[in-house]
Structure 1
Amino acid sequence: MAGAVGLGPLALLLLAASASPRYTPDWESLDARPLPPWFDEAKFGVFVHWGVYSVPAWGSEWFWYFWQGEKVPKYENFMRQNYPPGFSYADFGPQFEAKFYNPQKWAELFEAAGARYVVLTSKHHEGYTLWPSNTAWNWNSKDVGPHRDLVGELRPFLRKKHIHYGLYHSLLEWFHPLYVLDKKNNFTTQSFVQAKVLPEMVDLVNRYKPDLIWSDGEWEAPDTYWNSTEFLAWLYNDSPVKELIEVVSFGGNYLINVGPTRDGIIPPIFEERLRSVGSWLSINGEGIYASNPWRVQMEKNTTTAWYTTKKSAVYAFFTSWPQNRVVQLNSPIPTESTKVTMLGVPKLLKWSESSMGKGLIIALPEFSPNIANMKIWTLKLQDVH
């Protein structure tokens, strides 16, 4: 379990498809797993936070905790002003109807955004599951609210688009009686883990065979409480997907979050942003997808540039268009066969070697409306050192 392994709340559990040796339930063995190539190459995904907290749609997905856990005044005031006395968090459940949820349209939008993977919240810290979990009786999307398997319905449409499917799964549940009991016992008992966490995680893996599991909520208890190593060893060795690796993500992969409404609509402002990213990636994605860090990641001179590399090319990204249409790059060392182009512009660009004996001085194309719309521009440098 990603968040349960003691490596931080941004740990990811990534599922791949190749054969692997058997791993033992200890961190030395489990941490030796390689990163699945698809994740390292994907670079861009969409995170979907969706649950009962989408009904009040105020604050964040931590609404319940801030309202009745910490009793934050502004949350209490919100409830007094908008809901009758005695209204409980469970009363939000039937209002989470998802009546306009169209997983096919979601998949089409994520494809248009250029996303290579999607992570859906199968369950957050509130405990409500977006699939018919047997361990969340009367607090899941089949029993209460939509009366649908929201997790299962999205899967085939993402698969059809060749988008990897990931599932977020919270370990802790703020107010679950068994978790509260284990916490009271200083986590010397594992009633919640045995009755709730492990059965749910195994069910998600067996039922949906996700490509990625993002799990957090581990911070109040040690990894031994969560049975982390035992679960991962099962997942690596004997589960239907078998190939799983956990890593801590510190960059190199961008996961943008959206929050659908309680009816299952992705708000227009989110859709516009996603399509805008996709439009940019359709031109500049060559320098993003499956790229690697170059020997220089960023340089600052007259123009700030960020670098990636793929195969024999180096890509330089810059965000400020110079008034004289000249970009100077000090890090690349040109050769006699160097070629420079701008992604989205078919013709070769003129360049010269800087007077300092290294670096490139590049003449940019005319500033047209199509070029202006990109806002971030990419120079492709071939045969440079």
Structure 2
Amino acid sequence: MMTATKRIVLLLLLMTTLSPLSGATDWLGDKFSLFIHYGLYSTYGGVYDGVPVNDGYSEQIFSFGVHYMDVYEASARDFTASDFDADSIAALAKRAGMRSVVLTAKHHEGFCLWDTATTDFSSARAPRCGRDLVGEMSEACHRAGLRFGLYFSLIDWHFPGAVPYSSHNADPVTPAHHEYNKRQVRELLTKYGSVDELWFDMGSLTPAQSQELYGLVKSLQPDCMVSGRLGNDCADFAVFPDNETPDYTLDIPWQTAASFFPETWGYRSWQRRGSVETKVREKLSDLLRVVCGGGKYLLNIGPDGEGGVIPFERQVLERMGRWLSTYGAAIYGTEGLPCHDRLMTRRADARELYLFVPDDRTLVELPALTASPLSAVALDDKGGVELTSVDGHPVVRCVPLAGMPYRAIRLSFADPVSLQSRSETIYAYSLADYYSGLRSVVGYRVVGKGLREISFPREYEGREVEVNGDLLTLKGQPYETKSPTVRLVGPLSCRPVGGQLGWMPSVDGVVPQPIEGAILGDTLLGSPDQHRGLLLEQELACDQSGDLRVDLAYSGGFLLYLDDQYIDGGFVREGEERIPLLLSLTPGRHWLRLKLYNSFGPRPYALLTPINKYEMQRMTLPATDEVTITRPHRFPIASPAHLSALRLR
């Protein structure tokens, strides 16, 4: 057992000695990886007792179909993996243009694909298999020059010391189960050479458990990249909910994990697959959205019960590989260049940009850049590309090519080029567990003439921030200011919302109901049911411009919006957190929206207290036309900065 002192020492070591971003550039530069969901569940093919199991993913058929572990465990006698050919899978990944492979070493069912000393429930002990599939895949990847990673489920339905399983899978991990996980992780990181990525999944660990596992990984393989689903922001890269891609720019390495079909990751014998052509187009579009957004794409296959790759999935991957063999220079080793409806990447030296033109467009206007391109050339050398202008704006004309869903156009520049700077919020993705993840605000970029002053509430004094890349301790001259007068208009309303903490409902026909109380000054309660949220909203009226000081005290998880602007969000597992906020108001009416989310069981609450007079501090900066201010880039990299009360002038 870890003592409180040991936990503190471990956390301090993680914060001061480990660099979560070490190795991230190479890992992120690979861009495209193969995910493999294979296990005992694959032998069922989504069918139990002759009936297709529609509920849940097919790799979770024990939870949604079988239910009895003695029955499920007995089926391991028929596990053969006779068609699982690691070298063939590695060769397929290379033909597909992938640079790494991530194999499910153990999924939630607890069946291990390696020769482990911790349990007999494994491929190595299955009487008709007797093979170490992790070892075979590791050796095949290393022979083929591919990076090798492992998926590891933090919950285990077979381990007798685990809590009873649930359908949501965000279960706590008992101390005995945590020790079991540690023993298995140690085996995986000491028996199979270099492991470049450890893809933890599910469970709801305590912060100490997440910190201990993260520290264990780094002590055994310092360059191994750890996924965000380890929880509590103990990670090297962010992972979003299944098949999701963010529509905002992130300041940290991130990955989208995608299945071929949204219904399942593991093999489903009765899956309707559609046409290869349609699926190639869909997955290429997803790959480009991820890469151009700055992320890495992890595309899954689910081999059949004997371990053979499904022909449909093989054909799609090979078609994607043929496209990448022509246009891969615009993908590998590039930086994403997020710019709304255009798909673009940039080489590290910033003198070449790549524009992806879909086959249903022949004219694409370039975004606002810091320089004009000298030339535009298609990477396929087929011609049909022209750099011109329309109404004074540079555009690229491009003739589609048959069989190519996208063409990649190289734009060359004399000097380094970027998108023209604009004021924006800087985000990461913070995750306590699968359901308690949110878009975390980690900083701001402000563009304006002669910026020279930073102001902040006195509660920020002594905090460290990065200003244009340099570390700065906040400490300034105090002054007093006042909030504008606001009035509450109409009743406080409330509506239930499901999903994850970070999800805000759009217009969906659900009518909020009026309730007693006020969004400012009253203690507001969230849902008593775990993994459920309540959205509370009320209209405010203001007669003058100014920053309304509001002090937030909350438990559980929250998101706060002013009109359509996301102000802040966060979560706290125990106790409460207090955050000073400034809400920038203009004359007129505004909607204040607060989502409270029950992440961890106890009923969440929040109190937004308006403050009339409050103290601020100001510091003078060297005059500049652009300031980027963020939380320091160190472990934990994704936690919210709670800097919304900063002002730059």
TM bin, normalised by shorter chain, reads 0.7 to 0.9
Give the one of 309, 323, 328 matched to 2:346: 309
Residue 61 (structure 2) pairs with residue 67 (structure 1): no
Distance 1:33 1:48 in 2: 25
The Cα offsets for residues 352-374 of structure 1, whole Å up to 9 and x where unpaired, read as: 23322x32242x34x5xxx2111
The CA deviation at 1:316 is 1.1
The CA deviation at 1:88 is 1.2
Distance 2:100 2:164 in 1: 37
Q: Is the 8 A contact 2:163 2:174 kept in 1?
A: no
Give the one of 383, 390, 394 matched to 1:359: 394
Distance 1:341 1:199 in 2: 54
Distance 1:155 1:242 in 2: 18
2:41 aligned partner: 53
The CA deviation at 1:189 is 5.3
Residue 243 (structure 2) pairs with residue 256 (structure 1): no
Residue 129 of structure 1: SS of its match in structure 2? Answer: coil
The CA deviation at 1:56 is 0.7
The CA deviation at 1:193 is 1.9
Residue 26 (structure 2) pairs with residue 38 (structure 1): yes
187 and 30 in structure 1: CA distance in 2 versus 1, 3 angstrom threshold: farther
Correspondences of 1:273-312 after superposition (within 5 Å) = 273-294=316-337, 296-299=338-341, 305-310=342-347, 311=349, 312=351
User: Letter of the aligned partner of 2:313 in structure 1?
Assistant: F
1:243 aligned partner: 223
Question: What fraction of aligned residue pairs are identical, expressed as a percent?
Answer: 23
The Cα offsets for residues 264-320 of structure 1, whole Å up to 9 and x where unpaired, read as: 2101001001101111111111111111122x5233xxxxx3111113111111224
Residue 155 (structure 2) pairs with residue 172 (structure 1): yes
The CA deviation at 1:87 is 8.3
User: Letter of the aligned partner of 1:327 in structure 2?
Assistant: L
346 and 178 in structure 1: CA distance in 2 versus 1, 3 angstrom threshold: same
340 and 67 in structure 1: CA distance in 2 versus 1, 3 angstrom threshold: same
The Cα offsets for residues 162-185 of structure 1, whole Å up to 9 and x where unpaired, read as: 1100010111112421113899xx
Distance 2:387 2:138 in 1: 48
1:349 aligned partner: 385
Correspondences of 1:209-248 after superposition (within 5 Å) = 209=193, 210-219=195-204, 221-224=205-208, 227-236=209-218, 238-239=219-220, 241-245=221-225, 246=235, 247-248=237-238
Distance 2:343 2:373 in 1: 23
Higher helix share: 1
Higher strand share: 2
1:17 aligned partner: none
The CA deviation at 1:228 is 2.7
Distance 1:275 1:111 in 2: 9
Query: Which ranges of 4 or more aligned residues in structure 1 deviate by more than 6 Å?
Result: 334-337
381 and 176 in structure 1: CA distance in 2 versus 1, 3 angstrom threshold: same
2:258 aligned partner: none
User: Letter of the aligned partner of 2:142 in structure 1?
Assistant: R
Instruction: For CA contacts below 8 A with separation 6 or more, give which structure has more relative contact order.
Output: 1
2:249 aligned partner: none
User: Letter of the aligned partner of 2:367 in structure 1?
Assistant: S
Distance 1:126 1:94 in 2: 15
After the TM superposition, which of the residue ranges 256-265 and 339-348 deviates more from structure 2?
A: 339-348
Unaligned runs of 5+ in 2: 1-8, 47-56, 226-234, 240-253, 256-294, 418-649
User: Letter of the aligned partner of 2:301 in structure 1?
Assistant: V
147 and 337 in structure 1: CA distance in 2 versus 1, 3 angstrom threshold: closer
Residue 364 of structure 2: SS of its match in structure 1? Answer: strand
Residue 152 of structure 1: SS of its match in structure 2? Answer: helix
1:159 aligned partner: 142
The CA deviation at 1:48 is 0.2
333 and 29 in structure 1: CA distance in 2 versus 1, 3 angstrom threshold: closer
Residue 191 (structure 2) pairs with residue 201 (structure 1): no
Distance 2:27 2:106 in 1: 22
Distance 1:337 1:168 in 2: 43
The Cα offsets for residues 46-87 of structure 1, whole Å up to 9 and x where unpaired, read as: 100000000111051110011245x9xxxxxxxxxxxxxx98
Distance 2:340 2:159 in 1: 47
After the TM superposition, which of the residue ranges 269-278 and 152-161 deviates more from structure 2?
A: 152-161
Distance 1:202 1:52 in 2: 23
The Cα offsets for residues 309-340 of structure 1, whole Å up to 9 and x where unpaired, read as: 11311111122434xxx413131659787111
User: Letter of the aligned partner of 1:228 in structure 2?
Assistant: S
1:327 aligned partner: 363
Distance 2:36 2:100 in 1: 11
Q: Is the 8 A contact 1:313 1:382 kept in 2?
A: yes
Paired residues, what number? 324
CA RMSD of aligned residues (A): 2.8
Residue 177 of structure 1: SS of its match in structure 2? Answer: coil
Distance 2:76 2:174 in 1: 30
Distance 1:188 1:61 in 2: 21
1:20 aligned partner: none
354 and 334 in structure 1: CA distance in 2 versus 1, 3 angstrom threshold: farther
The CA deviation at 1:132 is 1.0
Q: Is the 8 A contact 1:182 1:188 kept in 2?
A: no
Distance 1:110 1:201 in 2: 25
Residue 101 of structure 1: SS of its match in structure 2? Answer: coil
265 and 360 in structure 1: CA distance in 2 versus 1, 3 angstrom threshold: same
Distance 1:333 1:230 in 2: 45
Q: Is the 8 A contact 1:49 1:257 kept in 2?
A: yes
Return the index of the structure with the highest Cα Rg.
2
Unaligned runs of 5+ in 1: 1-22, 72-85, 300-304
Residue 34 of structure 2: SS of its match in structure 1? Answer: strand
Residue 179 of structure 1: SS of its match in structure 2? Answer: coil
Residue 11 (structure 2) pairs with residue 25 (structure 1): yes
1:270 aligned partner: 313
335 and 142 in structure 1: CA distance in 2 versus 1, 3 angstrom threshold: closer
2:118 aligned partner: 135
Residue 243 of structure 1: SS of its match in structure 2? Answer: coil
Distance 2:377 2:213 in 1: 49
30 and 122 in structure 1: CA distance in 2 versus 1, 3 angstrom threshold: farther
Q: Is the 8 A contact 2:10 2:215 kept in 1?
A: yes
Distance 2:33 2:407 in 1: 21
Give the one of 399, 406, 410 matched to 1:376: 406
